[in-house]
Amino acid sequence: MTTPEQTLPERCRGLCARLGVRTPLLNAPMTGAAGPELAAAVSAAGGLGVLAGAFCTPDELAAGIGRVRERTSAPFAVGLRVPCRGSGESLARARKNARALEDLALELGLEASYAWGAVPDEKTFAEQLEVVLESEVPVLVVSFGGLREIYAEKLEARGVAVLGAATTLREAKVQRAAGAAAVIVQGVEAGGPRLNFEQPDTLSQTGLLSLIGPAARATGLPVIAAGGIATGAQWAASLVAGASGVMAGTAFLRTEESAAPAAHKAQLAYATDASTRLVRTFEGRLARVIVNGLVEALEQAQIAPGDYPEQCAVMRPILEAAGRAGRGDLMELAAGQGAAMAASGPAGAVVERLQRELQAALGASVFFARE
Ligand SMILES: Cc1cc2nc3c(=O)[nH]c(=O)nc-3n(C[C@H](O)[C@H](O)[C@H](O)COP(=O)(O)O)c2cc1C
């Protein structure tokens, strides 16, 4: 019997072979949602599970990798954020946000002068990479920049495939120059933070279908499409446009294995196509979220957010406390434009449904019959 994967074009099968997976589908490295359970479930179902490692200490990362391995022997990836430098001017704005949030911090049981959260810096990033190498993780997803040569060479020597995220053609070319084995193109439809690093986020808001083909042509690398993909038909459309695989975040957010807080999952159940908006409140860089009370309160008070990473550092303790307290009005309800299509149930069932829908869409596609 022909499996859906056998009907895919050669370039998709090439990507699967490089990643060691049966199907060219990855879950996104979603902070707060893509823990070991989700990564393991997606890998066990034949895709490439991605463990969000950016905010993990080296010990937590090693433990998380161990927990994935307890659940599956299939390949998986770790997602990290390339560190970015802040500015003095942004620090002043972030401090203003921290002062404005003092009462809220007390309400959540934090000290008014609470310690800002840790956002991965150069030292943490180097330590996280050591864990990836020591643990022999086969695939690394990098966001917010390309890898420096010293890291890229080490990873290449150990056979680690690097998947580099880009939001523009210029960034896709930077990822190629930095040694990426494939480029993840993030369309503006995507949930969570914009992953731009070369151009300001106001100039990095291209739609997914306008990015895929040009990025594949400009880099000659396999392209993994991300942003708003929640059905197999959208997966098929990305492949027809020139992608070799897809990455889905929001489509897995409500699943049993997703570590997203219940209040976040509940909001997704009522989402529509128009529920999300790009805001700077949480990350200090644009992020697509379902707007809640905290965003509205800060916007109405005209308190301008700092930049990344300072604003992110200010918000992290609030977000973690809001998660523990189940306060959906204070969480970063990150979600993409496909939020209304995110289904509950096991992540493996989501993978299976997407594959069935992909197969149905491909069956109707002359493009695939010819290639
Ligand atoms: C809840 C959530 C958290 C995210 N956190 C991160 C992150 O920490 N690092 C990162 O590179 N991308 C992050 N993203 C963005 C994803 O990498 C990816 O671009 C996005 O999920 C794709 O769009 P989709 O959610 O519409 O499928 C996050 C996305 C979501 C929804």
Q: Which residues fall within 8 angstroms of residue 245, CB to CB, at 6 or more apart?
A: 12, 15, 16, 24, 25, 26, 182, 222, 224, 225
Is 88 contained in some domain? no
Q: How far is the CA of 31 from the centre of ligand 1 (A)?
A: 7
CA distance 140 to 122: 17
Ligand 1 contacts CB of residue 25 (under 6 A): no
Is 98 contained in some domain? no
**CATH number of the domain enclosing 147:** 3.20.20.70
Ligand 1 contacts CB of residue 62 (under 6 A): no
Q: CB of 77 within 8 A of CB of 137? A: yes
Q: How far is the CA of 61 from the centre of ligand 1 (A)?
A: 18
CA distance 221 to 172: 9
Q: Can you give the pTM of this predicted structure?
A: 0.96
Q: What digits encode the pLDDT tens for the residues 220-269?
A: 999 999 999 999 999 999 999 999 999 999 999 999 999 999 999 999 99
Least confident range from 7-11, 324-328, 366-370: namely 366-370
Is 345 contained in some domain? no
Q: How far is the CA of 72 from the centre of ligand 1 (A)?
A: 23
Ligand 1 contacts CB of residue 313 (under 6 A): no
Is 138 contained in some domain? yes
Rounded to the nearest integer, the mean pLDDT of the chain is: 93
pLDDT at residue number 37: 98
**How many folded domains does the chain comprise?**
1
**Which residue range forms the structural domain that includes residue 69?**
6-83+120-252
Name the pLDDT band for 369 (thresholds 50, 70, 90).
very low
Look at the alpha carbons of 186, 192, 195, 196 in this order and tell me if their dihedral is positive or negative. positive
Distances (CA, A) of 19 to 69, 87, 141, 150, 191: 16, 38, 12, 23, 24
pLDDT at position 141 over 90 = yes
Q: CB of 242 within 8 A of CB of 212? A: yes
pLDDT at residue number 171: 98
CA distance 273 to 253: 16
Ligand 1 contacts CB of residue 120 (under 6 A): no
CA distance 305 to 297: 12
Strands (E) across 1-152 are located at: 25-27, 49-52, 76-81, 139-143
Tell the burial category of 338 from Cβ atoms under 10 Å away from its Cβ (0-12, 13-18, 19+): buried
Ligand 1 contacts CB of residue 248 (under 6 A): yes
Is 309 contained in some domain? no
Ligand 1 pocket: which of 31, 50, 61, 188 to mutate (most atoms within 8 A of CB): 31
Is 40 contained in some domain? yes
pLDDT at position 371 over 50 = no
Q: How far is the CA of 30 from the centre of ligand 1 (A)?
A: 5
pLDDT at residue number 3: 65
